Chains A and B, each alone.
Chain A
């Protein structure tokens, strides 16, 4: 009953190539944007922003980034945590080095710096494939975390080894530092997420995205039909790292405000983002959001159920969480390798035909 359509009637190329070809989907997209920008900022409080919405939005950017590399281009990376750290430290150095420049520019510049680092660590992908590459990206993870831990220039020689975000504003509204309002945090992340999603969506359906998918499906065949593997793989690494760097910068500057690199960007973070895209759906922008939402909500829900409702000790709930996450990963890989996004796609197909299945 939701979908009311009687066929495809496209009369122009513009109509044919729009992102959401079905009118109902398009209106739902506008409605989601309207609610996210127009209503939630007025309702959001500290708990919702810090526990759910802001981490969800930031992880969604990271998941989009990793999905471009792993889901679209087929290069598995376990270095996400390290690249997020590059974004965070680049943002920190820029914020403290050029205090008069806007924080928005700093975050974008941090993305570009991360992209350069990502290309450097992506170079071996031209020779190494499959899980040899996955393990090779671990080199990036461990080396980068060690670098930010040991070289005190990166954390401005502070005694604790932590980096702390100074107070910065956008159009007079404070967005970093301890005095930030919940809605300001939420809104700046939302703007970046929206732009990242639109950019990623259009990249992946253009010529670059098709090159990535050709490399993913079979790299030798792609090379034979004229895809340049050097260009395709390195652009995938660059753009993926760009998004991951932005999410790292936001994670540090807006979400936490102060971080210690080993704790915030360790290997667990790499796995977390990888799990998000597996559960959400490899090769799907919507899947990145779904996976991020799922893995941000799961611990919150488990804590509400286990600790607050049943009164179990927190360590037991944490262990149960490990079991559930691990079990879900295996379950999804067995039952639905394309993740939540595929379930959503199937539901949509069913709804378009409902109530007449033929």
Chain B
């Protein structure tokens, strides 16, 4: 077997891992879209905000310290304590629940019944707002996030697979963090599916997703369900934020993963959780392979647009995406 062949397999494996991370972000989109018809552009910024909050809480940073210092001329920065990772994650989840409540109470309650595109633009506004608030609260410098996840190459896999190739092949290189992320994503999806299938709240959530009016008439509180859904999306954002943040640091570019998740959604369909997973994997593998095979011919950095063009091509033939519900239009 030529080494190139194994490199291609390695590229595919790494693409799968990257795809899992895309799916993680896309999941948050699908949750909100299914339950409320809102296409939440702010999902990426929510991941950034959650990661920033987590780092801030763990380091005992004073919220809005920079702002206070600038206005009142004080010099406060830290409370001077360290919070253990697990407890900080719990606190951050709490913050995301409060955020979900505020979003529902102050924004989307006033926009009920508006066109989807208006709601979409409102979430773009929300993304800007949240990014500004996050920067004001915790500062905009690049932070490192360390919640004790393993980092670096997995030597075990490298050693176990080294025998496959010839002399110039040293086994598959896979980041341990990616493996952990894949595991977390699988658990998260299983939990979400179980939640929506077997619990009362989960069933109510699916009912709302199916038909708002019918759900209202059997006594389901739309308000409660929407807060629940936004909280869930906030939690998914936190998980995504932890994974991406541990991988490449907590900084502004983290919010751009939303832009990576959009083509995943278009490909998989906005309404399908399996679609988000499969779409993420296809795009993850597709863009790595494309960069590996075609990238060198056209100058590289094709991953910026490949996912979009692929999704666009799929949409032209299947406007609802691969797994989405059929779009039926009535006059």
Contacts and interface: CB of A to CB of B under 8 A. Distances in A.
Interface string A10-31: 0000000000000000000000
Contact of A127 (B39, B136, B300, B315): B315
B124 A271 contact: yes
A246 B238 CA distance: 43
B218 interface: no
Interface string A54-83: 000000000000000000000010000000
A329 B315 contact: no
B68 to A, nearest CB: 10
B131 interface: yes
Interface secondary structure of A, over-half rule: helix
A313 B70 contact: yes
Given A315-B140, A337-B118, A220 B125 contact: no
B316 A323 contact: no
A321 to B, nearest CB: 7
B305 interface: yes
Interface stretch (B9-17, B92-100, B306-314): B306-314
Interface stretch (B109-117, B146-154, B206-214): B109-117
A139 B132 contact: no
B88 to A, nearest CB: 23
A65 B259 CA distance: 24
A37 interface: no
Contacts of A130: 116-117
A128 B132 contact: no
Prevailing SS type, chain B contact patch: helix
B300 A150 contact: yes
A312 interface: yes
Interface in A292-339: 310, 312-313, 315-316, 319-330, 333-334, 337
A48 interface: no
A76 B132 contact: no
Contacts of A326: 125-132
B262 interface: yes
B120 interface: yes
Given A150-B299, A334-B107, A131 B117 contact: yes
B122 interface: yes
Contacts of B266: 132, 135-136
A132 B319 contact: yes
Contacts of B67: 316
B133 interface: yes
A208 to B, nearest CB: 22
Max chain B Cβ within 10 angstroms of own Cβ: one of A221, A327, A330: A330
Interface in B278-328: 298-302, 304-305, 308-309, 311-312, 315-316, 319
Q: Which of A310, A315, A322 has the most CB of B within 10 A?
A: A322
A80 B12 CA distance: 34
Given A146-B301, A334-B110, A327 B135 contact: no
Nearest to A150: B299
Contact of B304 (A146, A218, A224, A337): A146
Contact of B315 (A132, A149, A275, A310): A132
B319 A278 contact: no
Interface in A140-161: 142-143, 145-146, 149-151
Contacts of A150: 298-301
Contact of A139 (B130, B136, B311, B329): B311
A355 B273 CA distance: 60
A124 B312 contact: yes
B262 A138 contact: yes
B1 interface: no
B199 to A, nearest CB: 30
B19 to A, nearest CB: 18
Contact of B319 (A127, A146, A333): A127
B66 interface: yes
B300 A333 contact: no
B263 interface: yes
Given A138-B262, A334-B111, 18 more contacts: A76-B120, A135-B266, A136-B311, A136-B312, A139-B305, A142-B304, A142-B305, A143-B305, A143-B308, A146-B304, A150-B299, A313-B70, A315-B140, A322-B135, A323-B129, A323-B136, A327-B125, A329-B122
Top 5 nearest A-B pairs (CB, nearest first) are A329-B125, A326-B129, A322-B132, A326-B128, A323-B132
11 contacts: A127-B316, A132-B270, A135-B262, A135-B308, A145-B304, A151-B299, A220-B329, A274-B124, A315-B135, A325-B128, A326-B130
Interface of B: 39, 66-67, 70-71, 107, 110-111, 114, 116-118, 120-122, 124-133, 135-136, 140, 259, 262-263, 265-266, 270, 298-302, 304-305, 308-309, 311-312, 315-316, 319, 329, 331
